[in-house]
Structure formats: C-alpha cells, structure tokens
Chains A and B, each alone.
Chain A
C-alpha cells in the first residue's frame, strides 16, 4: 500500500497533464483562456503564451476567482523564471512608467535586484485589469528578458468570447 501511495504521489504532479492546460494564444488554449477570463470578469485583455523561445516551457497554471497566474521555466534563467499574473489591479508602488509595447495599455517597470540574480516586475494596466510579469532570473539568464516579450502576448476578451461561442455552437458566451 505504501508503494501505491508513493506512486500516486509521483503521479500527482504529472507534467504532461499540466502542458495540456497551457494558456496558448492559439485556439488550443481556449479552455484555459476562458477560465482566466472568468477569474477577472472585468479584464479586457488576457495574457497568453504566443510561442516558446528555445529553452522555455510552460510550468503550471493556477486560477481562482479574482486572480489567474501561470509560470514559465527556462533552462538558463531557471525554474519559475517568469510568473504572469492577471488581476483587477496591480501594486505599482515604486514602479516607473515607460512606453508600452502592447496597444491600449500602460507599462510600468520596477527593478528589485540586479546584484546577483535579476528580479523585476513589469506591469501592464488596461481597462478592467492588470497583467504583471514577475522576473526571477539566475545570473546567467539575465539577458533573456526580451525573450519573455516574445513568449507572452495578450488576447482581447472579445476574441476569447468568440472562441467560446464558436466551440459551443453559439450556445455559450463569457
């Protein structure tokens, strides 16, 4: 019985099942995108994974009412190198606004540490919500920040709603 329990424990964190739930921007990730949209009903934009630059992969996703989060690992920047949060509001204390690279959003940057590891928070605010990236890079992965901009994109709520309607034959909507 102890062996069975140990086997169960090993199976409980099965990575392949997690991969299935990755919130990709293509229709494959529609279920996860819809769930994230439900977590923050006011948010007009939803974060999603546009592509996986070399060495990056999806780690986990956690969604509850009021907040959605997913995490990416990097073989150079480290485990849970980037945590992406979607919330109604973000804590922007100490952050500096810089020109945004995403339409209809404002971008804020806050550097926490550059001494050994690189730690920073990037936040995008928009109507009804806020998306923040929490960087926690190993020293050797510091140069990979730009890859995150490639890996993560935003999808409009209306696009997610269209996906839901399409999948349900027009019966359901966000």
Chain B
C-alpha cells in the first residue's frame, strides 16, 4: 500500500556551463589567504628569526649594540626637563594597567557580541605572545640600554620589548574583534600604527628599550595577532558585523559570493549570476541561499552554505541534547564539514529514489577545502508552509503517505514540524532532510508519524486525521506513535504551536487509538552519565586553567 510519489520529479536545469576540473596546484575558489600584509609581516618575522640566529653564532650582537647605541644617543639629544616629565607621564600608554584594560575590553566586548571564536583567538594570541616574549627575554638576556640614563619604568630584560609586543597584540586583536572589514578597519589600523609609533618614540626617549627591542617586539606582536586572526578566525568565515541576525549566517557578498559562483559553475556546471541569502529566519544551522542561473528560463535553485562554524554548532547542539535527553538523541556528530554536506547530499538522493517528495539534489561544491561547501537543490518556487494553507483531506492523505513512504524505505526525517512541511498545488513537500536517518530505530519512525499527525491536526482536527491515518497505518502503529510521543520528542516550533492552539491533541489521539503503555525512553544511560561527568569535570578544569592562564598573562 505504498503510495506513488506525490510530486513529479522536476527536470534538471539546463547544463549551460561546462564543468571544469581544478588542476593540481591551482587554489580553490576561496583559498585560505593571509593577504598581502599578512605575508609581509610573516616575512619580517622570518627575518627576525634569522637575525636572532646570526646573533647566536656570530658577532652580529655587538654590531647591533653599536647601532642601537648610536640611535639612542641621537634621541637622547632631544631631552629637555619639560619634555622628560611629559614623556614619563605618557609612558602610561604602554603601562601594565593600560594593557590590562585593553585586554579586558577586548574580552568583554567579544563576550557581549558573542564572538567566541575571535575571543579564543585573542586569548591564544595573548598567551602565545606572552610565552614567546617572556621565554626570549630570559633566553637572550639583553640588559637595558647601557651607558645612558634610563628615565622610565621597566621590568625584566629588554629584548624583545614586552610592552610593545603586548600593545601590538592588543591593538591588532581589538581591530579584528571589533572593526568590520573595509574602510573602518583600514582607519583603525592607521590609528593603531600611530599609537604604536608614538609609544615607541616615548620608550626610546626614556631609554627603557633599545631600538631593536622595540622593532622586533612590534614585528612579533603584530605577526602573532595577524596570523592568529587571519588563519583561525578569518573575516571571510567569521565576519565582524553589527547587523541583527543569527551568527551562523555567513556573508555571501564580496570574495565569498564570487567564489560560490565560480565553484557552482566549475564543479556543478551551474553558471550562477546571482547568489543571495534567503529565508535566514528559518535557518540556524547553515546559510540558505537563493541561486539564479545565467539562463533566464532556468529555474531558480536553492543552496545551503555550510562552514566549519556550522559543524561546531551542530556538535554543541547534539552534545547538549545528549546531556538533556540521554538516549533519546541517538545520532552522532560529523567529523568534518565535508562529511556533513556529503551526508545531506546522500540523504537527498536516498529520499528522492525512495519517492519522498523532497528537493532534487544537484550536488555540492567545494568553496574552501574542509571549511566551506555549498549544497544545491531544487527551489520550491510557490510552495508555502503547511501552517499557512488550508489543509483538506487530500493534503492529509498526501502528508501521511509521505510518512508511510519513509517507513517503507527504512528512513526517518526526524525533524517534522510545520516549517519543514510545505504545500504546493495541494501536494506535500518535505524539506530539510539534514537530520534524517537511514535504518532508524522503530521509535524514531513512530515519532515521525506522531509529529506529522499533530502538524496536520493543527490545521484540521484530530478525528479527521486519525480517520485518514487508518487508511495507511494500523491502529496499533498509531497507538505506538503516540505512546512514543511526549514533550521532548516535539520540535520547539511544533510544541509552541500546540500550546497556542490550546487543544490537547496528543491526548485526543491517544484516546482515539487503542490503549498502549507509554514507550519508556531511557533518559539516563551509562553514556549519558559518562558524558555529563566529562562535561562537568571538563568545565571545572577549563575554569581552573582559565584562572591560571589569566594570572600568568597578567589578566588578573
């Protein structure tokens, strides 16, 4: 009694563009890029390392000492009593208190704007720069400038200059934490450069550092912060924005937009002319896209952009559900973004072949290897969410037929809710199969049926839905579905609409179906106990480690 697919499969869009294989050595559409300034600072750091090596094995140290001394003598010539007082006061620009304030400003701002990725990178940069500069100072053991009167305050050995390293890391970090890419970021860098240069001048005047201490300190600090943010929190992937919206959504303009178009054309043969965000409110786990092709007669396509940030969100979401619900959440996490996208593509194909009326897949394209992929499917033009249309008996039959079809194919959708059930021309369409499962537990399949019946009953009544359901399901199967259903098994949207509706539809269905004891969900298992303990111990260790690290890098 398997109903045929309710929606004829649409024809693929015309393959107007030719696919092209990316030859070995050619960068991907959106490569990880340090950008020109990043490469410039990295080269400077290599130069610094080379100088340190030469100092260790040759007499270059004496030459540098002489040069530093000559420069310092020139600067000291400018000393005047009034200027001395001003410079002593201005030394506060690089004082430990100033650095502490800047660091906490960055940390708190990142927390307020929920930029956790950038926050971790910022803290990592502080730790790394502190460890490197402290280690180098002890190892190189360079004294403060000799033969001149030191006017300012100082601490420890002089090379590289710790205040300059710390200030450079703070300022560059704050720029990448706070300032959106573009003109404002360029201006901020200019201001930061001015601040660093002015502080350098002050420290030279006061003779607390040698010129090379300052130079190497700035190079070290800027490079660590720049590399950290550009490699671990690139603006392309983690944009700084003050617009309202979910943080999971990526900016698809600029270089990423062009990269998506190039990838679609080269890898899928789909010459896109316009890629724009679509329906962002209904999606938290990816960035949904509306893709227009070059051929005006070709249908519009739907895309979902997945990035490393979505993968991490998925992991945290699943961990949270496992901790909350125990064995109820029987899914495992994905190890890479590629695996996540591959799985959704696979499910789309499997469901399509099983006759489930879901979007036809056109494959997925690689934007940045192991970081960003876009999956492309048919766009359901004109389809509306089931909660916004009139639901008649034909729609009820069609929707229940879809669940029967899932059961027969050994599949579960696992996220049946009004937002994922669309209706077009009286036919039901199922979307968002990313949470689906092949060979699910019978309990999962039962929950799918119950959720679909509740979705339908919200737009009609329980008696009609139950009566129509008996055409495809036995009373025992319906009883099993509602024996498996409780608050936890409902999606938040379905739960909310049931609450608004006011009718106790679950109780009504249970009353209509044969009596059956509730199916026990083992909410505590060994795995859940172990995971909960691990999370608690991990959190405690993280807290202790954080306090210890903060103390080490003078954040406390």
Contacts and interface: CB of A to CB of B under 8 A. Distances in A.
B153 A12 contact: no
Interface in A1-55: 1-2, 4-6, 8-9, 11-14, 17-18, 20-21, 31-32, 34-35, 38
B421 to A, nearest CB: 39
Contacts of A172: 65, 69, 146-147
Interface in B91-109: none
Given A35-B143, A171-B66, A17 B135 contact: yes
Interface string A116-129: 00000000000000
A105 to B, nearest CB: 25
A60 to B, nearest CB: 10
B150 interface: yes
B143 A31 contact: yes
A159 interface: no
Interface stretch (B154-162, B265-273, B428-436): B154-162
A173 interface: yes
Interface stretch (A61-69, A76-84, A106-114, A141-149): A61-69
Interface in B144-194: 144, 146-147, 150, 152-157
A5 B65 contact: no
B146 A32 contact: no
Contacts of A20: 138-139, 141
Contact of B131 (A8, A164, A173): A8
B548 A31 contact: no
Nearest to A38: B144
B138 A21 contact: yes
Contact of B127 (A12, A31, A168): A12
Contact of A17 (B139, B150, B155): B139
Interface string B122-138: 01100110110011001
A13 B120 CA distance: 21
Contact of A1 (B124, B143, B153, B553): B124
B131 A64 contact: no
Nearest to B136: A17
B196 to A, nearest CB: 23
Interface string A141-174: 0000000000000000000000010001101111
A172 B69 CA distance: 9
Contact of A63 (B123, B134, B156, B552): B156
Given A31-B141, A31-B143, A168-B62, A1 B135 contact: no
A35 B124 contact: no
Contacts of B144: 35, 38
Interface residues of B, number: 36
B69 A31 contact: no
Interface residues of A, number: 31
Query: For chain B, what secondary structure do more than half of its interface residues adopt (helix, strand, loop), or is it mixed?
Result: helix
Contacts of A65: 150, 152-155
Interface in B66-105: 66, 69
B294 interface: no
Contacts of A8: 124, 127-128, 131
Given A9-B548, A12-B127, A171-B66, A31 B157 contact: yes
Contacts of A63: 155-157
Given A9-B548, A11-B131, A31-B143, A64 B153 contact: yes
B350 interface: no
Contacts of A169: 62
A18 B138 CA distance: 6
A62 B123 contact: no
B134 to A, nearest CB: 7
Interface of B: 62, 65-66, 69, 120-121, 123-124, 127-128, 130-131, 134-135, 138-139, 141-144, 146-147, 150, 152-157, 232, 542, 545, 548-549, 552-553
Interface of A: 1-2, 4-6, 8-9, 11-14, 17-18, 20-21, 31-32, 34-35, 38, 62-65, 164, 168-169, 171-174
Given A62-B156, A168-B65, 13 more contacts: A2-B120, A5-B120, A9-B127, A12-B135, A21-B138, A34-B143, A34-B146, A38-B144, A38-B146, A63-B155, A63-B156, A172-B147, A174-B147
5 contacts: A1-B120, A5-B123, A14-B135, A20-B141, A38-B150
